[in-house]
Chain A
């Protein structure tokens, strides 16, 4: 009896396997890309453009929605997205966008297995209009929505900073169905970037009203970008499907892929998946690079690109001994950045000599900058500044220094770098620094409230302009400025540069600001500039993004 049951079980199992095999063969007709780029373990926190803020979310949102402007992921040019064209008033404060008139709202229908246009009550196809954009902006500015990122847009739309609710005035107006006028209180050359960011994109009000908070689920949602939302397996994956109704523009072409499966996997799991042949594109975990770069097959599929981020250590300039700029500079000079990038990181990360990653508007490139610009590893200068620092603090020797703590979030990378730098300070300055490895949330809250003497931090650009770095993260009193760095000259320079229309002139101002930030006043010690480190199967064709999010509509899988 038992063995017969077993036989039955086996038969069913074999049948099931055969079925799976058949369906897999069938699936191969479609071009499906399985990717883990920009993803980590666990669900994106939200896929509501108004509530999103991290790379994971932006990666998906960039495919579902297209901004008024679209940032070219390779050249960093601002290109037309949902807007065909725009005009800027003479004083630079009023921008009028002409929207495309051929973009419908769509949703994937699981029953018909097709992407369908949404219709209004009259049965007409519901197009993306200027009013949808105005609705989205007002909704995201509404305190009840509590959008975590809309503050980036606030300074560049009239009434943004003061917006208190649906009745408040906001400097965005629908002139007609397909014309939007945005009024900014200031002239800002980079505002065009911000008008295209994920929190500035149109939303369909009826969907949000009907489905409440679950409107972002594929069965309720309304999107219009090059891909539509097919499936969201929470904590596991999101599947995007080609949106045939996206008209296809120069900047955002019709996708060549039929589907993109985005898996939410830990980086240590992505590599085995890739090696087993079940994923097409991944980011390589740093600690596995040695093997990947040496492997005869994997090394040919491996590539590096720019990632618009900087890794740095900040000093709390209100706590001894870092009240002394000499002391801060001494600790910065004593970090052998190349030893870290060569031996620990290994993916071609660049030792950072200043804060803003080169490639952003208004920043010198490594080649153009004078050799002595910024800060780099220099033991002699470190000792010199250290002595000057001791003198400034009226201390006789290093032994009189108060105990110094370096704090970081307890992740393998931060822990490795922290220990390496701890030894460099010991070797080069003779100072023993305590390490405090804190759980990440505690770490962030401690830094926010009252940062440690030295703390680890990093910044990835929201938009590729020095303003996003220097003004928005290092100005006196801004949130990211954990170490309370404050220098009136610096503030004046970045404020001036923010409204200066001429790029060459802005670059000069930012260069002076950088000099203050990393050298003269040494508010931070920049450590390295990030790179991407991807593996892509040989049959995957596509662009290499330098902005973080990949634009999968430009990708393809060769047969």
Chain B
């Protein structure tokens, strides 16, 4: 088990490596560069900017430099002025050596668009916000979706079932693009219960979490129901019932545990999607999160931010999937690791 997890962990780096190559190639193949904008720059300026950000280097060198600045740690001494090229995620003061040596590691480079910020700045300031929003939304999704699914499965083919699933379908069928401004209009403008936009207070988190979570809850509800229905048809459930076990125990102990397996498969990617795929909600509710960078970096050709966000997302996903697989084994002992 430990060996398996360790191996998967090592695999992650290979995955990240492949993704970095694919993304790097793809983003440089897309027409347009970070300095293309409404008021075009004279050629001489464009040249200066390309020099400043080393975009005039051969593409292979650019890639090597990029990977190098992330992977290769550095030990520097003396006072370090923060600059776009030197901003490391890990800065550990070393207890030995002269002139205050510091161990520095992981530099994702400067943002080409936010010209006074680095990608690390963006991670430090905006990622936690997206994380909070994602967690809140996932909580809403699970709190609504799983009970709804269980309820519908137990009342299979009754009016309650249809009603429950109707609610779920409503959630999944109406895009967030509509629910978000509607929620905002009713609860913030008309009723004035919660603030219109912003981030920082619980009140500000409610609408975005509901808007995001409700849509995802539908997916969870449907999956829970389908999976639970299948489990309920299993022989061991029949056996448990035949043994005279109380229905409550049958459901909660036997059925739910196995019925959760497909649901868990989806939780990892779901969470990753919630943390990163929040562009619409962040835009409408004015939340300073990471989600928008996944879109704006691509539309604005902010190369280091594209790379940084995609690598982050990839790492996140690989870890989430690893967790899912471990949870799998725990829930279904028939699955072996080999």
- Contact assessment for A151 and B82 in the assembled complex, using a CB-CB cutoff below 8 Å: no
Q: Contact: B48 with A51, CB < 8 Å?
A: no
In the assembled complex, how far is the CB of residue A220 from the closest CB belonging to chain B, in whole angstroms?
Answer: 10
Count A-B contacts at CB 8 Å.
145
Task: Name the contact of B32 in the complex, choosing from A275, A278, A442 (C-beta under 8 A).
Answer: A442
B36 contacts the other chain (Cβ, under 8 Å)? yes
CA distance A107 to B331 in the complex (A): 59
User: How many Å from the CB of A268 to the closest CB on chain B?
Assistant: 7
From known contacts A143-B48, A236-B288, A269-B284, infer whether A213 and B40 are also in contact, taking CB-CB under 8 Å. no
Assuming the contacts A151-B45, A212-B82, A278-B196, asked whether A272 and B31 have C-beta atoms less than 8 A apart, the reply is no
Contact B35 A42 (CB under 8 A): no
Docked complex Cα distance between A273 and B44 (Å):
43
> Are B32 and A445 in contact (CB-based, < 8 A)?
yes
Tell me the interface secondary structure of chain B in the complex: loop
CB < 8 Å neighbour of B31 from A214, A268, A445: A445
A480's nearest neighbour on chain B, judged by CB, is B40
Residues of B within 8 A of A458 (CB): 38
Q: Which of B43, B48, B52, B283 contacts A41 (CB 8 A)?
A: B283
Per the bound structure, the CA–CA distance linking A264 and B14 in Å amounts to 39
Check B126 against A234 for contact (C-beta < 8 Å). Answer: yes
Interface residue? B233 (CB, 8 A): no
Query: Would you call A273 and B197 a contact (CB within 8 A)?
Result: yes
**B83 and A148 contact, CB distance less than 8 A:** no
Q: Which A residues from 196 to 240 make CB contacts under 8 A with B? A: 209-217, 233-236
Question: Interface segment, B60-68, B269-277, B292-300?
Answer: B292-300
| Residues on the A chain within 8 Å of B283, using CB | 41, 266, 269
Chain B 186-207 residues near chain A, CB threshold 8 A = 188-189, 192, 195-199, 201-202
User: Of A213, A234, A265, A446, which one neighbours B125 at CB under 8 angstroms?
Assistant: A234
- In the complex, whether B247 has a CB less than 8 A from a CB of chain A is no
Q: Does B158 contact A (CB under 8 A)?
A: no
- Interface-lining segment among B100-108, B113-121, B235-243: B113-121
Q: Is the CB of A234 within 8 A of B288?
A: yes
Q: How far is the CA of A339 from the CA of B121 in the complex (A)?
A: 47
B334 within 8 A of A: no
Given A265-B286, A445-B31: A48 in contact with B115 (beta carbons within 8 A): yes
Interface residues in A, total, Cβ within 8 A = 57
Chain B residues closer than 8 Å to A478, beta-carbon distance = 42
Least CB distance, B133 to chain A, in whole angstroms: 13
Partner of B82, one of A211, A235, A272, A480: A211
Q: Which residues of A contact B21 (CB under 8 A)?
A: none
Question: What 0/1 pattern do residues 262 to 302 of A give for CB contact below 8 A with B?
Answer: 01111011001101111000000000000000000000000
Q: Could you say which of B32, B114, B195, B292 has the most chain A C-beta atoms within 10 Å of its C-beta?
A: B32
Which of chain A's residues have a CB closer than 8 A to the CB of B202?
Answer: 13
Question: What residues of chain A lie closer than 8 Å to B51, measured between beta carbons?
Answer: 143, 146
In Å, the complex CA distance between A233 and B110 comes to 19
Cα distance A313–B72 in the bound complex, in angstroms = 50
Q: Does A53 contact B (CB under 8 A)?
A: yes
Contact A448 B117 (CB under 8 A): no
Would you call A85 an interface residue if the criterion is a C-beta within 8 Å of the partner chain's C-beta atoms? no
B37 CB within 8 Å of chain A: yes
Type the 1/0 row for B120-154, where 1 means its CB is closer than 8 Å to any CB of A. Answer: 01000110000000000000000000000000000
Taking CB as reference atom, which chain A residue is nearest B194?
Answer: A276
Q: Is B73 an interface residue (CB 8 A)?
A: no
Among B51, B195, B286, max chain A CB count under 10 A is at B286
A209 vs B43: C-alpha distance in the bound complex, in angstroms? Answer: 29
The residue from B32, B121, B197 contacting A269, defined by CB atoms under 8 A apart: B197
B126 contact set on A, CB distance < 8 A? 234-235
Contact with A along B36-80 (1 / 0, CB 8 A): 111111111100110110000000000000000000000000000
Asked if B301 CB lies within 8 Å of chain A CBs, one says: yes
With A235-B126, A272-B185: A441-B42 Cβ-Cβ less than 8 Å = no
Contact A151/B81 with A276-B189, A440-B299, A458-B38 known, Cβ cut-off 8 Å? no
Report whether B36 and A212 are in contact in the complex, using a CB–CB cutoff of 8 Å: no
B30 to chain A, nearest CB (A): 7
Given contacts A234-B126, A269-B196, contact A479 B42 (CB under 8 A): yes
What is the CA–CA distance of A236 and B39 in the complex, to the nearest angstrom?
Answer: 25
Kindly list chain A residues whose C-beta atoms are within 8 Å of the C-beta of B116. 46-48, 51, 213-217
Q: How far is it, in angstroms, between the C-alpha of A53 and the C-alpha of B35 when the chains are bound?
A: 12
Q: How far is the CB of B187 from chain A (nearest CB, A)?
A: 10
Q: How far is the CA of A53 from the CA of B115 in the complex (A)?
A: 12
Contact present for A272 and B81 (CB under 8 Å): no
Pair A53/B39 contact, Cβ less than 8 Å: yes
What's the minimum C-beta distance from B88 to chain A, rounded to whole angstroms? 14
Min distance, Cβ A381 to any Cβ of chain B, angstroms = 31
Most B Cβ at <10 Å: residue of A210, A263, A266, A459: A266
CB distance from B194 to the nearest CB of A (A): 10
The verdict on B262 contacting chain A, using a C-beta distance below 8 Å, is: no
Quick check: A233 and B196 within 8 Å, CB to CB?
A: no
How far apart are A419's CB and chain B's nearest CB, in angstroms? 21
Give the Cβ gap from A3 to chain B, nearest Cβ, in Å.
18
**Does A392 have its Cβ within 8 Å of any Cβ on chain B?**
no
Residues in B with CB closer than 8 Å to A269 are 184, 196-197, 283-286
CB distance from A141 to the nearest CB of B (A): 10
A445 CB contacts on chain B under 8 angstroms: 31-33, 36
- Shortest CB-to-CB span from A9 to chain B, Å, is 11
Residues on B with beta carbons closer than 8 Å to the beta carbon of A25: none
In the assembled complex, which residues on chain A have CB atoms less than 8 Å from the CB atom of B82? 211-214
CA distance A202 to B283 in the complex (A): 35
Within the complex, the shortest CB–CB distance from A113 to chain B, in Å, comes to 19
Q: Quick one: closest A residue to B296, CB to CB?
A: A42
Tell whether, in the assembled complex, residue A51 and residue B39 are in contact, meaning their CB atoms are under 8 Å apart.
Answer: no
CB distance from B109 to the nearest CB of A (A): 12
Would B49 and A146 count as touching, CB distance under 8 A?
Answer: yes
A48-B116, A211-B82, A276-B188 known; A263 vs B286 contact (CB < 8 Å): yes
Kindly state whether residue A45 has any CB partner on chain B within 8 Å. Answer: yes
> Could you tell me the distance between the alpha carbons of A482 and B36 in the complex, rounded to whole angstroms?
13
Q: How far is the CA of A47 from the CA of B114 in the complex (A)?
A: 9
- B285's nearest neighbour on chain A, judged by CB, is A269
| Contact partners of B42 in chain A: CB under 8 A | 151, 478-479
Interchain residue pairs with CB less than 8 A apart (11) = A41-B283, A51-B115, A143-B51, A143-B52, A151-B42, A212-B82, A212-B83, A269-B283, A446-B32, A448-B40, A482-B40
Q: Given contacts A46-B114, A275-B189, list 5 more A-B pairs with CB under 8 A.
A: A151-B41, A234-B117, A269-B283, A442-B30, A444-B32
Which B positions have Cβ atoms within 8 angstroms of A? 30-33, 35-45, 48-49, 51-52, 81-84, 110, 113-118, 121, 125-126, 181, 184-185, 188-189, 192, 195-199, 201-202, 283-286, 288-289, 292, 296, 299-301
Which 3 residue pairs spanning A and B have beta carbons closest together? A445-B32, A235-B288, A46-B115
